[in-house]
Chain A
Amino acid sequence: MIEVKELSKLYREGRGIKKISFEVNQGKAFGFLGPNGAGKTTTIRLLMGFLRPDSGQVTINGLDCWEQKTEVKKLVSYLPGELHFVESLTALEFLSLIAGMHRNRFQIKKNQKYLINALDLDSKILIRKMSKGMKQKLGLIAALMLDAKVLILDEPTSGLDPLMQRVFIDLILEEKKRGKTIFMSSHQFPEIERTCEQVGIIREGKLLAIKSILQLREAEYQTFQIEVESDEDLELLKESQLNLIPLQGRSCIIRVAGELDSLWMALGQVQVVRFKQHSLELEEAFLDFYK
């Protein structure tokens, strides 16, 4: 459905993307992960036909995203990374505007009502009086109500509280069940992990790897902070084959990739005073790619 071949786009200051290639099949979800300034938004702008590629090709359903940008938009729903609206309108007026710029308005209005309820948005408020989270909800409703075949979402959950992030993930999973193709950029590994089958990792404009979520789970690092009873215990841990970073006193950080058997074996030989698992950070999960 989405095909990107040797795609390059460099801005004057030198940033951009260089020879990126990937494919997203129909009905699949592709997560695009990377730090700030890596090139995620540039790739999305090229998919949306906002920018002309320097070289390479980007197509959606066989249509060139630059040459046939108006045709492409008939298939695509888009949620920008930074949301800005026509501020003098109410949420409902804005949604009517977007509906009025598409065909099939009746179905769009129907979806709109369902999504307003699901995301619990007060649609009569003026947009300029909305909080960031409310604006994010409005953007999501505007994107999902169109029932488009392809969803392009640039950091869709930024600004949403954890409860609404969960609602969003449920909505995306619902869309997937209905056969939608999804391209989603994010900083947050958990939402990509729960919604996407494939992940592309981008850094400094280069696509470092494309992995399936299963492959990543196998390779992912988990980090633990451990404090032991005595200096001897600490020495024993150091002598093990674990990836250990000593901290102050008798504490250390241990990073384990894949299965945790080796960690449990080592800890079985010592007296543990404190054991804390760090939440999985994106940088930890992709540390190998970032080196």
Chain B
Amino acid sequence: MNRALFRAMFKQHRKKIAVISTGIVLYEGLLTWVYPVIAENPAVTEIAVSLPTAVKTVFGVPENARTDTFEAFISGQFFARIWVMLMAVYGIQTANNLLAKMVDDCSIALLLSTPISRSEILSTQAAVLIFLGGILVTVTILGLFFGASRSGITICHDRYVRLGLLGFSFFSLIEIYSLFFSVWFVEEERALTYAAGLTLIFYCLDIVGGLSNKYSWLKKVSLFQLFQPQEVLEGSKNPAGSIVGLNLVSMILWQWAKRVFESQDLAI
């Protein structure tokens, strides 16, 4: 990894990270502020219990999960869908900006004219990508701790840290396969289409698989099956296996991406 390149790339993306982080913290602040009011109203719990399975699926609430806890509330309102989509879009777009866009507009030419190997440049770009994703995950978890403590909500911090680690691994994989498509196509539009398309397919499989028992097998082939925030927050699922699996796939894809990039023709 090259430090000078890391600093320059980080500088390029830090404003975007600051804006997203602020948005996440404010939204979490809002949710933790309104939760005590909602929790005191029994009618809300009744509505949540009476929701049809299909609606629960769309909002990322597992069928056998409770609906009257803060964990259920924060999962449904934030972690299961909004956070996932926000982080996925961020990861896909940033991976594209860090490689395919730079090849497309030839701004990588001057970087590749230095005695730093292609692998090292790619490693640096990936490090920036993962590091920025890590900042967003950390801010999300710390923002929630702060919001919960301010509103007097009791939470199990360990479980949120575990969710953070799972989220980090999950989003890192999305970022790495987006980077892989950038390396493979070395063309901004195609890389973006394939990365976004694959993520959308996984997302749709997760939704459709939850709508009916007939299609429940579709959930098993979706990447999103590995990210079930409510189960992790309620302690009914240990995410260690998923974290190891996600990181393993990321490592394999990463090694493959380096090999592809080393031998890629770059018309820059």
Report which A residues bind B (CB closer than 8 A). 11, 45, 48, 50-52, 69-71, 73-74, 76-78, 80, 82, 84-89, 93-94, 96-103, 139, 142
Chain A residues within 8 Å of B107, by CB = 84-87
B112 within 8 A of A: yes
Please measure, in the bound complex, the distance between the C-alpha atom of A67 and the C-alpha atom of B184, giving whole angstroms.
20
B183 to nearest A CB, angstroms? Answer: 15
Instruction: Evaluate contact between A101 and B4: CB separation under 8 angstroms.
Output: yes
- Bound Cα distance from A43 to B143, whole angstroms: 54
Q: Complex formed: what's the CA distance from A82 to B11 in Å?
A: 24
A99 close to B110 (CB less than 8 A): no
Q: Which residues of chain A are within 8 angstroms of B9 by Cβ–Cβ distance?
A: 86
**Interface size range on B against A:** 20 to 34
Stretch from B113-121, B200-208, B227-235, B240-248 at the A interface: B113-121
CB distance from A285 to the nearest CB of B (A): 29
Bound-complex Cα distance A86 to B8 (A): 8
Question: Chain A contacts of B118 at CB under 8 A?
Answer: 69-70
Q: Write the residues of chain B forming the contact surface with A, with a CB cutoff of 8 angstroms.
A: 2-5, 7-9, 11-12, 105-107, 109-118, 263, 265-268
Chain B: minimal CB distance from A198 (Å)? 24
A50 touches B268 (CB 8 A): yes
Determine whether the beta carbon of B12 is less than 8 Å from that of A89: yes
Find out whether the CB atom of A73 lies under 8 angstroms from the CB atom of B12: no
Q: How far is the CB of A143 from chain B (nearest CB, A)?
A: 8
Known: A51-B267, A80-B268, A96-B4. A101 touches B111 (CB 8 A): yes
Please give the distance in Å from B119's CB to the nearest CB on chain A.
9
In the complex, the answer to whether B12 meets A101 with C-beta atoms within 8 Å is: no
Q: Is the CB of A73 within 8 A of B109?
A: no
A70 to B120, CA, bound (A): 11
Of listed A11, A70, A87, A101, residue having the most chain B CB within 10 A: A101
Taking a contact as CB atoms under 8 Å apart, the answer to whether A102 and B268 are in contact is no
- Give the contacting residue for B106; candidates A73, A84, A103; CB below 8 A: A84
